[in-house]
Amino acid sequence: MKTGFKKISISKYIELYLKSNPGTKRKKITEGLKKALKAYKKGIKCRCGNPIWVIGSAVAGNACFTCITGEAHPDNDYEIAEACE
């Protein structure tokens, strides 16, 4: 299980994302999340070798939390629940 993440469903995350990013189309973020989750489930890794962060990968391409944010560890950052099991 990924540690340090706060689990969230895709549907709840989409609502939060759209509220914070009102110019974004629902279809675009939904497709990005589904594509990233599919890659995660296939075992796709970040270029550094770590598992990808689904939420970040939906908009930034397949990469881990650290490579996307520059932070060493998540601190209650969201991750799709299916990627935390």
Distance CA 64, CA 56 (A): 8
Residues 83/7, Cβ–Cβ less than 8 Å: no
Mean pLDDT of the 57-67 span: 96
Among 62, 64, 54, 63, residue whose Cα is nearest residue 84: 54
Residue 3 has pLDDT above 70, yes or no: no
Q: Is pTM beyond 0.85 here?
A: yes
User: In the prediction, which pLDDT does 4 show?
Assistant: 87
- Domain segments of the chain: what residues? 5-83
Residue with tokens 């969230």, as numbered in its chain: 8
Residue 51: DSSP 8-state: B
Q: What is the rounded average pLDDT of the residues 12-28?
A: 96
Q: Which residues pair with 79 in a beta bridge?
A: 7
Q: Residue 1: what pLDDT?
A: 53
Structure token pair of residue 72: 């060493």
